[in-house]
Amino acid sequence: MRKTLAVLTGAALAAGLTSPAFAAGAAPSSTAPRASATASGTSVVEWNRELITILGDPKAQPATVQPTRSFALLQAAEYDAVVSISRGGPAYLFSVSAPRGARADAAADQAAHDVLVALYPGKRAGVDQRLRSQLSAIPGGPDKQAGTAVGAEVARRLISLRSDDGSSATPPPFHPGDKAGDYRPTPPDHPAPVFTDWGSVKPFVLTSGRQFRPAAPPAVSSEAYATALNEVKGLGSKTSTTRTADQTAAAKFWSAAPVWNVWNQITQNLVTSQNTSLEQAVKVFARLDLSLADTTIATYDAKYTYRVWRPVTAIRLGGTHYNPRIVGDPNWTPLLKTAPDPSYPSAHAALSQAAATTLAGLYGARHRLTVTSKGITRTFAGFQDAATEAWLSRIWAGQHTSLDNRAGQQLGTQVAGFVAGRL
C-alpha cells in the first residue's frame, strides 16, 4: 500500500500539482483576475454555504439529480457575472455587456440568487433573504443596479442553456448481471442504483463523459484482482483486526458527508483565511465545481460501462471459485454500508483527486489543512495528502479496491487539468 501511495502521489505531482496559479502570500500570476478594490470573496463563500444548506434537505431536488451539477451552475454563474464586469479573465460561457462602474459584487449576488431560485423554487424565501442581506452591504445607485442586471442576465442564459442537458431524464431501469464480476445491488438492503444514466449528461467543460474513460479493469479471475480484493477483505471488514484505529476514524470521516461538500468547505476556509478577492474567489470555486461536476459525469460513465461488482459481493461469492486466489466468506460485512453503484472507478478517489489537483494548482501543493466534517476534525500537510486519505479510506471502509482507486485518481487528475486549461 505504501508503494502504491508513493507512486500515485508522485504521478499526481508530476501532473501539475506544483504549479500554482496563485499561491498563498504570493502575487497573482498574469492570468489571474485583477484584484478588487471594492469586494472580497466572502459573498461567494456565503452563497456556497447556502447551497450546502439547501442540499441538506433530501426533498430539495429529485434523487436522480446529482448535486455537483448545482454547484457547477452556481459557481459558473457567479464567475461569468464577475468577469463580464472585471474583464479579469476569459468567460466560462457568457460575457454580458456592462457599463463602466457596474458593481461586480452585486452581479455575483444576483447571479447566485437567480440560479438557486431556478433550481430550488421551494427554497425561494430563504434565498431571497440571503440576497437582501448581501445587497444591503452594497451602496445603492446605478452602479449597483447595473451589476444586478448583469448577474440576472448571466443566470438566465446559463439556466436556459442547461435546461436540456439530460439531467432531468428518467434513468432507465437497471438490470443486474449474473456472471462473475457483474454488479448487482448490495446487502443488507440491496438498493437499486440511481445514477445509471448520469454518464450521459452533457458535461460542463469536457466534450463528453467518456473523454477520459479509464481502461477496463483486470478480470476478476486475475491475480491483480485477487490481490486487491484480499486487501479489502482484511482491512475493510467490520470486524477487521488489521485496520488501525486511525484508519477506522478516517473511513468514517470521509463517509460522514458527501465528498463534494467536504471539498467545497475546504475551499470556503481557504477563501476566507486568505482574504481572497471577489475575482479570485469566483475563479477558485468555478474551477473546483466545474471539475467536480464533470468528474462525476465521467465517473458514472465509467461505472456503468464496466459495471464491476462491489467488494462485498465479490468476497461473499468467493466460494464459487471464480478466482482460486480468493477464499470466500458468505458472512463478510464491510465496515460501512456500500453505496448503490458499481465499484470501478471510485467516486471518492476521482472527486478528491480532481479537487486536490485544482486547489494545488491555485494555492500550491503544500498547504496545511484542518478539515472538519460532522464534528470530526482531521489535519493534512497538503491537498494531495487529503485526497490520498480520501481514497484509501474507501479500502478501510470495505467499499473499493485499490484498482478502483487508481482509476479514479487518474480520472480526477485528467478532468481537473482539462478544466484548468479553460478557466
HSE-up of 119 (CA within 13 Å, CB side)? Answer: 31
Asked if 354 contacts 383 with a C-beta cutoff of 8 angstroms, the reply is no
pLDDT of residue 375: 86
Query: Which position has the grid cell 446487502?
Result: 187
Q: In terms of residues, how long is the chain?
A: 423
Whole-number pLDDT of residue 393? 98
CB 360, CB 384: distance < 8 Å: yes
**The whole model's pTM is what?**
0.91
Q: DSSP string covering 16-62, please?
A: IIT--SS-TTSPPPTTSPPPPSS-BTHHHHHHHHHHHHHHTSTTSS-
d(Cα 67, Cα 222) in Å, to the nearest integer? 36
Q: Judge contact between 338 and 398, C-beta under 8 A.
A: yes
Spatial separation of the C-alpha atoms in residues 420 and 28, rounded to whole Å: 16
| Contact assessment for residue 397 and residue 251, using Cβ atoms and an 8 Å cutoff | yes
The DSSP H or E segment spanning 208 is none
Residue 395 to residue 347: CA distance in whole angstroms: 13
Residue 421 · residue 290 · CB < 8 Å: no
DSSP H or E run through 6: helix 2-12
Mean pLDDT to the nearest integer, 222-245? 98
Q: What per-residue confidence (pLDDT) applies to 74?
A: 98
Burial of 270 by CB count in 10 Å (0-12 exposed, 13-18 middle, 19+ buried)? Answer: buried
- How wide is the angle at C-alpha 69 spanned by C-alphas 65 and 72, nearest 5°? 165
Question: What average pLDDT does range 114-121 have in this prediction?
Answer: 98
Task: Determine the 3-state secondary structure of 370 from DSSP.
Answer: strand
Q: Other CB atoms closer than 10 Å to residue 79's CB: what's the count? A: 31
Q: How far apart are the C-alpha atoms of 423 and 141, rounded to whole Å?
A: 31
Per-residue pLDDT tens over the stretch 379-411: 999 999 999 999 999 999 999 999 999 999 999
Mean pLDDT, all residues of the chain: 91
pLDDT at residue 326 above 80?
yes
